[in-house]
Amino acid sequence: MIAKERNNIILGVTASIAIYKACDIIRRLQDVGFSVTVVMTEEAQELIRPIVFESLSGNKVYKGGLFESPDNWEIEHVSLADKADLVLIAPATANSIAKINSGICDDLLTCVVSATKAPVLIAPAMNTNMYENKITQDNIKRLKSLGYKFVALKTGRLACGKTGTGCLAEVDEIISEVKKSLH
């Protein structure tokens, strides 16, 4: 069983080009007294290596799959869910939001979200067209109605080169929303 720590954040990291901001999020959360444990999707590992997050957080990074050999005989998604004072997903892709909304638990991150009793805060990052898609908007609306909190996207230059709404919120805003979610 993973020991419960005070102010523990489970940081879910998905495969958005905004993943590099997760490094700053970890540092800023630590600066204000939080312990951060990262759970990465398999796709996120294509963009940044887990060792970067291990080095920054000082904690083991939990990676993608459900059937990796455990370090000990705990049920990881349940113990991580129990450990969390807050689950923050930043960046959150349209895919991860859709899976959470549909109750799909096909990777470690979605299983942690499904198993936790802690608040869940989602900071999306995606292309404007994906964000404005009616299905994505319906997914966000439903999750909000179920008590999930969202950090608003900002407008800026997207990975495709166009300017639009879809950029991950500023790190300061994400940290502020984390603090609000825990009080």
The residues annotated with a catalytic role in the active site are 160
Strand segments, DSSP code E, in the chain are 8-13, 35-40, 62-63, 86-92, 120-124, 149-150, 154-157, 163-167
Q: What is the amino acid identity at position 12? A: G
Task: Assess contact for 67 and 46: CB atoms under 8 A.
Answer: no
Q: Residues for the chain: how many in total?
A: 183
The terminus-to-terminus CA distance of the chain in angstroms comes to 26
Phi, psi for 10 (deg, rounded to 5): -95, 120
